[in-house]
Structure 1
Amino acid sequence: MVRAALAEQGDSGVTPRHTLFFFLGDEDAHGDLCEVARRAGFIARGEGDMTILETTMAVDAASFAPVSSMMQTWAAAFQLEYDGWECAVVTH
């Protein structure tokens, strides 16, 4: 849905931009996710039962597919819910 919304605004997703990923679940499970994510180059911050991972990346289908898969794998590994992602629109 996010990529469709970007396309509607003329954004192909190929320009790297600030991107956020959201995880929900037991507050105790977030520490391990944050540690793994930091090692993978993400900025990680917890807010109660939510963890937000930040990075700068392209979000076109080819660039995003492996990252999306990694997020789903992390959610399963740490028994969290991957609640999606968002990013800025870039149209230049």
Structure 2
Amino acid sequence: MTDSDVPHEERDAMIRASLAAHGDSGVTPRHTLFYFYGEGDHDDLNEVARRAGFLTRGQDDCTVLETTMAVDEGSFAPVSAMIQSWAAAFQLEYDGWECAVVTN
């Protein structure tokens, strides 16, 4: 089974578990990146994402969305659903997300 075979909700939970193992509850907002690949409509993704408050960057068949947000399950789940819907709408592969570990 490859990462792309694992549902995003499970992948999100695995990332949060890794954060928790480092003493990070996810509630402190931090720089978070979302990755999209493929030959779909990156321009429309960029436009919608900017309107939603994300910074966008990338080239050719890669787009990275950046924001500052909490990544605990309650805060993250609606954003994850939105990100996945954008990938479907613009015919792109959503490859996942990453963030820094924040402890306090």
**Structure 2, unaligned runs of 5 or more:** 1-13
Per the alignment, residue 6 of structure 2 pairs with none
- Which residue of structure 2 aligns with residue 54 of structure 1? 66
Q: Per-residue deviation at 1:29?
A: 1.2
Cα shift at 1:4: 1.1
Task: Give the paired residue count.
Answer: 91
Structure 1 residue 48 displacement after superposition: 2.2
Q: Which residue of 2 aligns with 1:39?
A: 51
Aligned to 1:23: 36
Q: Counterpart amino acid of 1:10? A: G
CA distance in 2, matches of 1:74, 1:59: 19
The amino acid of 1:61's aligned partner reads: E
AA matched with 2:77 = A
TM-score (norm: length of structure 2): 0.85
> What is the rounded CA distance, in whole Å, between the counterparts of 2:96 and 2:70 in structure 1?
16
Which of 59, 68, 78 pairs up with 1:66?
A: 78
Counterpart residue number, 2:11: none
SS in structure 2 at match of 1:12: coil
Q: Secondary structure at the match of 2:45?
A: helix
Query: What TM-score, normalized by structure 1, do the two folds share?
Result: 0.96
Question: CA-atom RMSD, angstroms?
Answer: 0.8
Q: CA deviation at 1:47?
A: 2.4
Distance 2:43 2:60 in 1: 11
